[in-house]
């Protein structure tokens, strides 16, 4: 009897022994939205505050965007681009399978999943990816399930397409694109690509040893280069097994790129847990509970979307951007509208950082209180500021104060408000009738006279500025 109980205990322990943590096991209980099949040929984003990835929901990476023609997709580490994308192929006996036609796409608050099913070959493959907070890199994990009743031997080929190039307006700050070169770094088992004239780097590899490496010509436009890594991979019947790819970059040095590569390589699970915990805080900070569950879900995901838009370039600052893929940089008026909503849902760090960024960029650019309109992530200012943005800044500061009650916050920005309103009325009101002249929200040729939106925002700004003065 005692022997029988011991056998039962061992069986129980065997069944309940902890399985390796994977992206799948960590995300299985997270909120998610499965995309519609009609949108598989449209873009997705895997977002982080330093790096983001844009491709198509089917798992492919076509050339996207117009702001820099055909260059707005791929992997970005502003103010540079790292890669146009990557391709993953499987060699299964005499058959080649490409992971670029996913059957379903599932979005998570802090990651994505592309699902591929090869029924005739008994294979199910999920491609997961997420960008860790504050890191210049991304982790891509493939989860293979052998649904057949026999072992499988295959080769996995990962081809990375580097394209190290500057962001929009790079030439204004001396960022000029050159050809990329590649070399295999054996001590990291990773390809390293570099722009030959700039300290711009990207490195990629995996958590298992590669069997072969090959340099290739990039199929994309531009001055990039490609490299392939091939990994032998075996699956027992019914087995699920993962391989995790690491992509990391730097616009400063190779050492920085490799340090990030090693950090992601060694800490993938803990980094995912950290991001998961932060997004749980975002979810809990503010909630909407209503009968319309679709609208309730929309509110929840708008909060996640807000976090995706934060772009940090440590040499310049951190702030919300206008949109991905074609407007991944900073705007005055877009922020002045959006930050009121950010404040209401409790994303205060983004609010304070963006206001500080706009204030500092405007001071350096204009020095007279005028608020800038559009700034690329290399610090190049495209538009020094439309007329409506300066009064809207005053109202933004007042509305934020109504949430935080922080007089130090008011004192910090009141000098900018005073200078800006003085500039508005002294330099932009040529006939002195109290209605400033110039472009408001409508940036259309000819609509730069006395615009109604500018007049309304100006009146509101003086009312709010008077309230700030009374508080101080």
Distance CA 309, CA 394 (A): 23
SS3 131: coil
The whole-number pLDDT of residue 93 equals: 86
d(CA 309, CA 168): 17
Of the candidate ranges 40-44, 360-364, 430-434, 468-472, the one whose mean pLDDT is the lowest: 430-434
Predicted confidence at residue 440, as pLDDT, reads: 65
Which H helix or E strand runs over 290? none
Which pLDDT value is given to residue 15? 44
Q: What angle do CA 134, 138, 140 make, to 5 degrees?
A: 150
Q: What is the CATH number of domain 292-471?
A: 1.50.10.10
Is-contact 375 384, C-beta < 8 A? no
Helical segments of 71-155, H only:
none
Residue that is written with structure tokens 């700034």 in the block: 375
Cβ-Cβ contacts under 8 Å for 267 (sequence gap 6 or more): none
Strand partners, 74: 54
Q: What is the pLDDT of residues 287-314, one digit of tens each?
A: 999 999 999 999 999 999 999 999 999 9
Q: How confident is the model at residue 450 (pLDDT cuts 50, 70, 90)?
A: low
pLDDT band at 447 (very low <50, low <70, confident <90, very high): low
How confident is residue 436, by pLDDT bands cut at 50, 70 and 90?
confident
- Close Cβ partners of 109 (under 8 Å, ≥ 6 residues apart): 30, 31, 279, 282, 283, 301, 304
**Cβ atoms of 233 and 144 closer than 8 Å:** yes
pLDDT of residue 106: 98
Contact 205, 245 (CB under 8 A): yes
pLDDT at 7: 40
Tell me whether residue 183 is exposed, middle or buried, using C-beta atoms within 10 angstroms of its C-beta: 0 to 12, 13 to 18, 19 or more: exposed
Kindly indicate the confidence band of residue 18, based on its pLDDT and cuts at 50, 70 and 90.
Answer: low
For the chain, residues classed under CATH 2.70.98.40 are 20-268
Residue pair 123/106 in contact (Cβ under 8 Å)? The answer is no
- 20-268 in CATH: which number? 2.70.98.40
The whole-angstrom separation of Cα 195 and Cα 178 is 6
Are 368 and 424 in contact, with CB atoms under 8 Å apart? no
Give residue 442's pLDDT. Answer: 64
pLDDT at 250 over 90: yes
Q: Which residues contact 40 (CB under 8 A, 6 or more apart)?
A: 56, 57, 58, 102, 105
Tell me how far apart the alpha carbons of residues 421 and 425 are, in angstroms, rounded to a whole number: 6
The pLDDT assigned to 441 comes to 66
Please tell me the predicted confidence (pLDDT) of residue 424: 93
pLDDT score of 13 more than 50: no
What tokens were used for 133? 């907070």
For residue 149, what are its two tokens?
A: 């009743």
DSSP element (H, E) containing 129: strand 123-130
**Residue 3: its pLDDT value, please?**
47
Q: Which two tokens stand for residue 406?
A: 């922080």
Domain with CATH 1.50.10.10 in the chain: 292-471
Where do we find the tokens 């977002």?
47
Mean pLDDT of the chain: 94
- Note whether 346 and 335 are within 8 A (CB): no
Q: What is the pLDDT of residue 6?
A: 42
Q: Give the three-state DSSP class for 86.
A: strand
| Angle, helices 389-404/407-427, rounded to nearest 10 degrees | 160
More confident residue, 157 or 7: 157
Contact 366, 384 (CB under 8 A): yes
Q: What percent of the chain has pLDDT over 90?
A: 89
Q: Is the pLDDT of residue 158 over 60?
A: yes
């Amino acid at each position: 009897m005692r022997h029988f109980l011991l056998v039962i205990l061992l069986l129980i322990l065997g069944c309940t022994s902890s399985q390796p943590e994977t992206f799948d096991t960590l995300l299985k209980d997270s909120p998610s939205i499965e995309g519609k099949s009609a949108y598989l040929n449209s873009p997705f984003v895997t977002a982080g505050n330093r790096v983001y990835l844009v491709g198509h929901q089917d798992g492919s990476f076509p050339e996207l965007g117009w702001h820099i023609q055909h260059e707005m997709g791929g992997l970005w580490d502003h103010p540079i681009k790292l890669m146009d994308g990557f391709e993953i192929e499987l060699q299964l006996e005499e058959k080649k399978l490409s992971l670029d036609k996913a059957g379903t796409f599932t979005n998570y608050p802090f990651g994505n999943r592309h699902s591929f099913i090869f029924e005739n070959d008994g294979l199910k493959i999920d491609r997961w990816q997420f960008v860790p907070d504050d890191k210049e890199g991304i982790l891509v994990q493939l989860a293979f399930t052998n649904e057949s009743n026999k072992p499988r031997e295959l080769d996995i080929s990962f081809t990375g397409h580097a394209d190290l190039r500057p962001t929009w307006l790079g030439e204004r700050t001396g960022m000029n694109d050159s050809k990329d070169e590649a070399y295999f770094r054996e001590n990291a088992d990773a390809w390293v690509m570099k722009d030959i004239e700039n300290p711009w780097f990207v490195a990629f590899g995996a958590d298992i040893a590669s069997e072969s490496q090959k340099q290739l010509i990039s199929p994309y436009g531009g001055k990039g280069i490609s490299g392939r890594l091939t990994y032998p991979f075996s699956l027992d019947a019914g087995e699920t097994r993962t391989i995790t790819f690491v992509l990391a970059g730097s616009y400063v040095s190779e050492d920085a790129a490799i340090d990030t590569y090693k950090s992601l390589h060694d800490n993938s699970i803990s980094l995912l847990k950290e991001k998961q915990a932060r997004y749980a805080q975002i979810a809990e900070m503010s909630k909407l509970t209503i009968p319309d569950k679709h609208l309730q879900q929309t509110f929840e995901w708008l909060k996640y979307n807000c976090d995706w838009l934060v772009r940090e370039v440590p040499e310049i600052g951190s702030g919300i951007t206008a949109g991905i893929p074609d407007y991944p940089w900073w705007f005055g008026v877009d922020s002045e509208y959006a930050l009121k909503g950010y404040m209401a849902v409790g994303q205060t760090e983004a609010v304070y950082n963006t206001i500080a960024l706009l204030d500092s960029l405007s001071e350096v650019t204009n020095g007279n209180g005028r608020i800038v309109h559009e700034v690329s992530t290399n610090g190049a200012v495209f538009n020094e500021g439309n007329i409506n943005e300066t009064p809207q800044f005053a109202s933004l500061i007042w509305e934020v104060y109504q949430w935080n009650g922080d007089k130090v916050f008011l004192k910090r920005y009141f000098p900018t408000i005073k200078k800006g309103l003085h500039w508005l009325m002294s330099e932009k009101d040529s006939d002195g009738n109290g209605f400033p002249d110039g472009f408001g929200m409508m940036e259309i040729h000819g609509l730069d006279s006395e615009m109604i939106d500018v007049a309304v925002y100006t009146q509101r700004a003086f009312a709010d500025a008077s309230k700030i003065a009374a508080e101080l």
